[in-house]
Structure 1
Amino acid sequence: MIGKSLLLTYLYLLIYIVLSSGVILYNKWVLSPKYFNFPFPITLTMIHMGFSGAVAFLLIRVFKVVSPVKMTIEIYATCVIPISAFFASSLWFGNTAYLHISVAFIQMLKALMPVATFFMAVLCGTDNLRCDVLLNLVLVSVGVVISSYGEIHFNVIGTLYQVTGIVAEALRLVLTQVLLQKKGLSLNPITIMYYIAPCSFVFLFIPWYILEKPEMQVSQIQFNFWIFFSNALSALALNFSIFLVIGRSGAVTARVAGVLKDWILIALSTVIFPESTITGLNIIGYAIGIYPPI
């Protein structure tokens, strides 16, 4: 029985690594002007949110797979709305970064996620500032600086987009802990998508209407139903797999699997996208950035 349980855990981790790497590479391919040429990251994110919300609605309201939680106006206003806003922002800025910087460099910048999450947790009062953690934060920051210095195709705009997305994701994670746990809500991946995805879609609609809708009206958009359907389906499967991995093996194991996934993704991106070159300084800086156990 122990062997089967361990095998199932490894299977979940493998599914997570494959889906996460696949979605990132797929998004890069769709958004990049050199490939599918759909340079509208907000639109792509809205498709993901709309699809996820529709699937969650069908599973809950039509097929009755799970039951919705008792949602009050207070919980919706204090939990769902702010979390959805930061979730939409992190996806928007993260996808926009693909237009400016390589997949490999994006993964290296994501080493800053523990730094951003820790500082947001300190500001929200869920964690305390400690000397040992501060030392680790300095090492992570030094590693990211080295990686950035060694980046051949360094782009300030793309880097700012990615860092902003990281900060937004850190705020989302901390708010989820602060708001949802204190409210005592018991949510699963389906109910989370049921409440978060439609609200995130609304938040994305405003910048889409201002920034991308006018440009889409004058440009010749290459729309392929099966491309966008499979892309949205992959993103939905990834969201489910993340919760399965965390529920099966815990957040620490998920983070270790994430590091392994990042190394694989960095290597794959240089093969799939030849313009994504990496240097020795990139590798050294990233190794320093992910080493400290925050």
Structure 2
Amino acid sequence: MGVPTVDGHTHLDACGCVDAADVVAALDRACAVGVTRVVTVADDLASARWVVEAAHWDDRVAAAVALHPTRTASFTEADRAEIERLAADPRVVAVGETGLDHYWDHSPWDAQERAFRWHIDLAKRLGKPLMVHDRDAHDAVLRVLDEEGAPAAVVFHCFSGDAAMARTCVDAGYMLSFAGPVTFKNAAGLREAAALVPDGQLLVETDAPFLTPHPHRGRANEPYCLPWTVRGLAHVRGVSAERVADSARRTAEAVFGLEALPPVAEAPSPGAGAARST
């Protein structure tokens, strides 16, 4: 791409990154195609510990911390205390991903909802954006946000709704982040949604290693694959890829406060860091 942009949601640990050298190499590959920053996101406690560490290895990496809704069947007070401690780290830019998942049956819906409400409160107490996972649960997610009172900034990661859902979210002031599915042939409704989101509420992401965009669907994803999604969005919106990339970067910088992040103390030594443990 001709201008830099930000991958607003990726999972570097799930992409195979283990230590600081792996993270630096992944970001070097991303930067080579114009993806100059990423937000790496946790889905369980082990991942939460890892992403915070990774955000201190490379200035191009920020973190988001929460317990994924499919992990909330057991969510103890000790778990809550650790998530809160990790989320308060200055290089953690969002509480997420949290929300509701009515597709998988790994966690009861009532347990997911209790955890979602707790994460909403945490985001408000920390003054950080809320990063929402919403799979087959649009009405329930919107209801809980309305009942709890949404934080100042809400990001619907990998937005999967239709145009009507998008209008509701835009009117509420939420940010909508689009990933590889917007390029899939069977996603006409999603493309209608992507076409109507204002520039200032649009983000782009890979959700790597998942959801690789067309024409490489089915292969492993990584932040360097983001330009395919950017080009797909540009086609849908009738603008240049450079405009989408630049607008998404500006929005990510504003929502996540990327320009205000404290710098990494020093460059990591080769092999620094430990593998994610469970």
Instruction: Give the TM bin, normalised by the shorter chain.
Output: under 0.3
Bigger relative contact order (CA 8 A; separation at least 6): 1
TM-score by length of 1: 0.24
TM-score normalised by structure 2 residue count: 0.25
User: Rg bigger for which structure?
Assistant: 1
More strand by share: 2
Task: Compare the two structures and name the one with the higher helix fraction.
Answer: 1
